[in-house]
Structure 1
Amino acid sequence: MGSSLFSIGLTGLNAAQAGLVTTSHNISNAGTAGYSRQSTVQSTNPGLFTGAGFFGEGTKVDTIKRAYNGFLTNQVLSAETKLNEYDTYSTEISQIDNMLADPAVGLTPAVASFFEGVQEVAANPSSVPARQSMISTAQSLVARFQNLSQRLNDVRAGVESQIKDTVTSIGTYAKEIAELNHKIAVAQQAGSAQPANDLLDTRDQLIKELNQLTRVSTTTATDGSMSVFIGTGQPLVVGTNATTLAAQSSRSDPSRNDVNIITQSGAAITIPENLLGGGKLGGLLAMRSSSLDTAQNQLGLIAVGMSTTFNAQHLLGQDLNGNPGTNFFTPPTVGVQRFSDASTASPQVDFADVSKLSGDDYKLTFTNTTGGYSLTRISDGASVTAANIGLSITPAATSTVGDSFMILPTRNAAANIGVSISDTRMVAAAAPIASAATSGNLGTASISAPVVSSTTDLASFGTAAAPLKLTYSSGNISGFPATLPVTYTPLSGSPITLAAPVASVPYSSGMSIAVGGVSFTLSGAMQDQDSFTLGPNAGGVSDSRNAVQLGNLQTTKTLLSANGSPSATFQSVYSQTVSAVGNKAREVKVNRDAQESLVNQATQAQQSVAGVNLDEEAANLIRYQQAYQAAGKVMNIASKLFDQVLALGQ
């Protein structure tokens, strides 16, 4: 019985010592990131049967268990990966928001200043200083476009660099987790399937850190190894094998990095961006596609709209030398980028109707060998036609089926805009057609200054010495060019178009007439043989009609067609862009703050199970110390009893 008592005391001593070791381990790692509290799991040794019944044989330590709750851990992972996505998105988009909304460096003051210069020319068309001011403010506007574009490119470069670094870090974590899988499997198999708690904690911490870079999900095999998946299920670690990831230049756009899986043969398989949500990587990819691309495209849209419409109106004017107007701004071009494996010659893509541009990017894919193609919008994959998106596409005569090209109508427009005029005399402030009433007219009728909408048929209006002459007789106006149709609109009626040749149109006071791209108004009382001339503007030095039209472009809706008509001005498009970026920045910040609260709640719940409570561990130390002392006392008594038994034999 003494020997049995001694054995029982020894088991208690061992159990208490195990508790003291485990508690000391907990206290030492209370500040270790990812550490899970450990505890001893004891059970009773099988009893010894005697005639008097079963006598206890003490206790045994079955295992050292870590306080781990998979559900709570997954809640923390889910909340943290979303927080890091929002946090990264918020940090990056705030740079764009601060820049675009800044009243000092934004586009709005530069546009306003430029049109003030145009209005000054409209008020003083013969003033050389006014013309120089207009050119100078145009150059300042161009510089503002280019500076904003460069700043966006700087943000883009930073995002691309972070994507590359993040993918490299993900690959490093994958290798470390694969190595730990091997160590855990070996340790647990060698230790009678006992859990390698500290190795498991280390692996969980690596997964936690990986999850902050990209959303992960895991499954655990029977040997203790853990497979890790990223995004929507792409395998990153399977057992002891880690997938190789690399951020490489996109096949369609070398300025962008795609996330690729590198196969054993070295081939790269691109993972679509929409499959890589969560974490820092998800935030970077989402910000790039949803906000950075959009902001840069919208800025380019304004540059394209302004340069194209301003050029179109400037071409309708006449400069101080009496010559037709030329392009005021550098004509924009459409960006076309081939996919790296495309062999077909690039299609010719031009702007057809800038009012239909939306700031989207498109993918053109050849569908046959004779230039047939399909066109899809990148943002949503919808099929579109070139005419509906404001473009003109001339494909190659011969093509390879499947060859694809990226069409970026406005992406680089803000960086490439420029002022084409440096000579003040070349500012086309005047209109090329002038009108006048003949000096011998008997009536009181007058003709308005003509407005020119096309220069194609200006030769039909004669010369300065022999201009076109319109004559009133018996209630009708005659003398129109024989080859041109005429549209006239009575003061209270609808437009009426007559096909060429037009002999005459009925006169009514206040009527408007349009012929050959020139429109004007006739009003007042007519007498037979009263006449009016329309011809080249020989003395247009003080004429500001075209400058007035140029100035009106500031408030004219020329962009973003809706229901067939332009719906936005240059300023309103920029305001919408600033508003969209600002709203997105606020939305992401609000979501980030809310997500941070969710992370704190989930972490508290998880730590209530797995965290080390020093007060509790201090109490455990006392409890195990007392248990150790009590077990020692049992052994001491057993020893004395055994000595008494030996003394009986003496």
Structure 2
Amino acid sequence: MRAITACLRPAPASDQEHLMTDLFSIGSSALLSYRRALDTVGHNVANVDTPGYSRQRVELSTRTPTPSGQGVYGNGVYANTVVRNASDLVQQRLIGDASQVGYFSMQTQVANRLDGLLSDETLSVGSGLDQFFTAAEDLAADPSSTAARQSLLAAGQDLTRRVGSLAYQFDALERDLGLEMNTAVATANDLSTEIATLNEQITLAMGRSGGQPPNDLLDTRDELVRNLATQLDIRTVAADSGELNVFAQSGQALVLGANAYALTAVDDPMGSLVPQLGVETQGGIVNISRQVGGGEIGGILATADLLDETRGQVAQLALGVSEQFNAVHAGGVTPSGQAGGHVFTAASIDVTGHVANTGSASFAVSVTDPGNLPGTDPELRYDGTQWLRVDGGNAVPLSGTGSVADPIQLDGLELVLGGAPAANDRFRVGMGDALDDFGMALRDPSGLAAAGAVVVEVPTGNTGTLALEQYAVEDTTAAGYGSAATLSFPAANQVSIDGGPVVAYDAQTGVLVNGLRLQFTGTPQAGDQVQLRATGAGSSDNRTAQALAGLAGNSFLGDGSERPAEASARLISTLGNAAATAEAGYSGALTIQSADMADRDAQSGVNLDEEAANLMRFEQAYQAAAQVMSVASTLFDTLLSAVRR
């Protein structure tokens, strides 16, 4: 009995106390761990609508077990870390998406605004030209009509009003883009500064927590990075310290650790109101405008180019028509017998030098070919020996030295150089700026020259069948222009002017006399003549009015390939296509962004149903852990009571 009694004796009090302590420790570890899990679930629920928040979860791990002769006993659980459900891959996709959305959003706004301006019936240059040429036809039908003359001048004034209004709107849009650039740069700098500050906070937090990730700070930084990508295209590089370095696509750093490098809006060296983009570095400001291809800033730079192209093409159309109209009108005669003057003001095209130029060059620009004017603002560069036209990365040599005798030839322009250029000096030929000075030079209806400069008479005594088909003004500055002249035909294929040398006569090319090109039908016979006499005052001739009205149907624009209406339609079509392309790009970018955001939400978003289930599960575990501690306490009390006896 003693032996049996000895076997039933309880374990030593020290072992019992150790057992109770382990159970209490296990219960308390579970209680604390599930409290952390419940806290995390509550944190998830609280941030269900917080932008950029990533769902968090507690990772639980078993505590190191205790080995003994009877086995290895577990010691409970502990909360190892709080994991953020976030994907770096999805984040990189969202960064690219934000950049594309920002870029196409800006392009869509500006392209639609330009398209709306040119399509507006009250501003349409095409409609203004239609009305103007219709008025010219009315004058050709009744060249003596004062009302027809007044109508033509009124239509011309309306055309200049339309062009002037467009020029004002273009200037306003350019100013708006400049303000948008300054705002976008300031926003990007604020975001870069916040990212740098968060880098510092994240590094400190990880150091203090033994390398544990500060998830909420990481979420905030990711959101800021996506917002920064909306401003310009960027790339990111993560460091082991937890910092995130941010670079522009050009390679210049925007954020390095806790340091932010400011973007700056750099005044355009060629005088545009839209600044270029620079970034501050230790070596100074680096211009990165050409390397920016995304974000609102990239969109601003791209639409500034679209604005320049649109303005240049409107100038090409308006100046091309006005200069051609002036040239034809100058060949006519007014009711008082005077030569026709300018109906529109002469094109005023300025050349702006680059701010870094070291030479003293300036230019005087004149129009030589109204149908071949540039549709953009060409850039010129002097390489030390010759002048080059710079188009993107290409440089094309231009003919001419710039002297009065040998002007620089640039499409339909001639440039005469003043001063001395230095090697690598650059200049912008401001075609678009010429719209600001576009206006009417003629105000008096009696100054309209409807009659031709000469009257061409084919004597009835001729024996051949020669008859005038048409004549065209080729050179109003030619010697003897508008003067009387006599064409004599010694033979059917020969002609002499005012008794001068006999030359071959070709019915296809006609005869050039005193700046006029005469073309005939029929065949002359030996001894036939044609008389030219100057048009006098009060003539009812309408040849110049007919030529002016005929410009509407002549293909003299686009290097001789387009009529005015076709050039106007092409301009509107080009802008419409640009707007449609921008809208398609914006829509596509939004679709991709929505899909990627859905992927992020599926992985990182808070699901309230799931969190409710976790809440119940962790609550039950917490209650069970509390019960373990209660049992441990009861056992410990029982042990103490037994020992006291």
Same-fold status (TM-score > 0.5): yes
Cα offsets for 1:479-533 (capped at 9, x unmatched): 513667856224xxx55xxxxxxxxxxxxxxxx4333322334556877755432
1:399 paired residue number: 421
Matched, 1:425 2:443: no
State the secondary structure of the residue aligned to 2:89.
Answer: helix
CA 1:524–1:357 in structure 2 vs 1: closer, same or farther (change >3 Å)?
Answer: closer
1:214 and 1:473 map into 2 onto residues whose CA distance is: 78
CA 1:477–1:625 in structure 2 vs 1: closer, same or farther (change >3 Å)?
Answer: closer
Cα offsets for 1:65-89 (capped at 9, x unmatched): 1111100111122122212221221
Q: Which residues in structure 2 correspond to 1:222-621 (within 5 Å)?
A: 222-263=240-281, 267-272=284-289, 274-289=290-305, 291-343=306-358, 344-368=360-384, 372-379=385-392, 381-385=394-398, 387=409, 389-396=411-418, 398-408=420-430, 410-438=431-459, 446-447=467-468, 450-457=471-478, 459=480, 467-471=484-488, 479-481=496-498, 488-490=505-507, 495=509, 512-522=510-520, 530-538=528-536, 541-561=539-559, 566-621=560-615
2:516 and 2:606 map into 1 onto residues whose CA distance is: 86
- Contact preservation (8 Å) 2:495, 2:503: no
Cα offsets for 1:412-454 (capped at 9, x unmatched): 2222211111122211111111122446657775455644322
1:636 paired residue number: 630
Shift of 1:579: 0.5
What amino acid is the match of 2:381?
T
CA 1:469–1:17 in structure 2 vs 1: closer, same or farther (change >3 Å)?
Answer: closer
Which of 46, 49, 60 matches 2:78?
Answer: 60
CA 1:199–1:461 in structure 2 vs 1: closer, same or farther (change >3 Å)?
Answer: closer
What amino acid is the match of 2:301?
L
Shift of 1:477: 6.0
1:63 and 1:442 map into 2 onto residues whose CA distance is: 114
CA 1:391–1:644 in structure 2 vs 1: closer, same or farther (change >3 Å)?
Answer: same
Cα offsets for 1:543-568 (capped at 9, x unmatched): 1101111111111111222xxxx111
2:118 and 2:424 map into 1 onto residues whose CA distance is: 39
- Contact preservation (8 Å) 1:361, 1:378: no
CA 1:589–1:58 in structure 2 vs 1: closer, same or farther (change >3 Å)?
Answer: same
Identical positions, percent: 29
- Contact preservation (8 Å) 2:487, 2:497: yes
2:203 and 2:376 map into 1 onto residues whose CA distance is: 51
Shift of 1:639: 1.3
Segments of structure 2 that go 5 or more residues without pairing to the other structure are 1-18, 399-407
- Contact preservation (8 Å) 2:482, 2:534: yes
Shift of 1:123: 0.8
2:200 and 2:120 map into 1 onto residues whose CA distance is: 55
CA 1:431–1:631 in structure 2 vs 1: closer, same or farther (change >3 Å)?
Answer: same
What amino acid is the match of 2:322?
S
Q: Which residues in structure 2 correspond to 1:120-199 (within 5 Å)?
A: 120-199=138-217
- Contact preservation (8 Å) 2:495, 2:504: no
- Contact preservation (8 Å) 1:89, 1:588: yes
1:360 and 1:61 map into 2 onto residues whose CA distance is: 67
State the secondary structure of the residue aligned to 2:443.
Answer: coil
CA 1:571–1:530 in structure 2 vs 1: closer, same or farther (change >3 Å)?
Answer: closer
State the secondary structure of the residue aligned to 1:155.
Answer: helix
CA 1:323–1:6 in structure 2 vs 1: closer, same or farther (change >3 Å)?
Answer: same
Q: How many positions carry a matched residue from both structures?
A: 616
475-484 or 291-300, which moves further after superposition? Answer: 475-484
2:123 paired residue number: 105
2:493 and 2:591 map into 1 onto residues whose CA distance is: 81
Which of 39, 45, 48 matches 1:30?
Answer: 48
CA 1:74–1:487 in structure 2 vs 1: closer, same or farther (change >3 Å)?
Answer: farther
Segments of structure 1 that go 5 or more residues without pairing to the other structure are 496-511
- Contact preservation (8 Å) 2:494, 2:503: no
1:559 and 1:113 map into 2 onto residues whose CA distance is: 19
Cα offsets for 1:279-311 (capped at 9, x unmatched): 22222222221x211111110111120111111
CA 1:414–1:569 in structure 2 vs 1: closer, same or farther (change >3 Å)?
Answer: farther
CA 1:587–1:445 in structure 2 vs 1: closer, same or farther (change >3 Å)?
Answer: closer
2:415 and 2:479 map into 1 onto residues whose CA distance is: 30
TM-score after normalising by structure 1: 0.89
2:182 and 2:236 map into 1 onto residues whose CA distance is: 24
Cα offsets for 1:600-640 (capped at 9, x unmatched): 11111111111111111111111111111111111111111
- Contact preservation (8 Å) 1:298, 1:574: no
What amino acid is the match of 1:171?
N
2:403 paired residue number: none
State the secondary structure of the residue aligned to 2:362.
Answer: coil
- Contact preservation (8 Å) 1:352, 1:387: no
